[in-house]
Amino acid sequence: MSEKNTQDFENLSKETSKEKEIKEESPKTGKNKRSDKAASSSEKVDQETKASEAKSEDQSEDLLKKVTELKQKYDEVEDKYLRAEAEMANMNTRFKKEQEKLLKYDGQNLAKDVLPVIDNLDRALKIEVEDEASKQIKRGIELVYKDMEKALSANHIIKIEALGQAFDPTKHQAVKSVQAENGQKPETVVEVFQDGYMLKDRVLRPAMVVVAQ
């Protein structure tokens, strides 16, 4: 082999070796690039996941806040409803009591207007008469008086017991006081100037009395 051919062969061998080195290095370089790309993609996915989780957490907090606000509003509405219902029940109870009271003491004003008539009849009966004509008139007055008392009693209007009773300021009105005598007990009614009357458990008019002291 000539010297020239030997040199050409060496050059070709060098070029072949270089190409082989380039080919061997190329796959490694490509693999590194793919690895870097995968790592970058994974990091991006992690960031997106974290962002999604943060967004989801924020949404959960907002939802919880709205639920709390709605519950508070519901509690306020429920409280107002219960208060209104209680007030309505109280109003209904008061109305029923007032109605019962009106029915219970129905006719009170009429009774008060009738009492002076009873007083006049009572005074007329206390007058002493001797002639027959006057006695007949007195008997007629007595019948009217009894009928009036019967009518009052039928409507739950009764005379207050006073004479000989212990003085009761809720039923008796003391117009005079006298010294107790002849075994009379202190604070006892010894005389009645005017009869008192009650309508059921209400005093229409207290009895006007004299009390021993």
User: 199 forms bridges with which residues in the sheet?
Assistant: 157, 202
User: 203 forms bridges with which residues in the sheet?
Assistant: 198
Q: Is the dihedral of CA 124, 130, 131, 135 positive or negative?
A: positive
Q: What is the pLDDT of residues 24-49, one digit of tens each?
A: 554 445 455 555 555 566 676 667 67
Residue pair 171/151 in contact by the 8 Å Cβ criterion: no
pTM of the model: 0.52
Architecture of the CATH domain 105-212: Roll (2.30)
> 10 Å Cβ neighbour count for 184?
16
pLDDT class of 142 with cuts at 50, 70, 90: very high
Residue pair 188/172 in contact by the 8 Å Cβ criterion: no
Q: What is the pLDDT of residues 165-204, one digit of tens each?
A: 999 999 999 999 898 887 788 899 999 999 999 988 889 9
Residue pair 160/203 in contact by the 8 Å Cβ criterion: yes
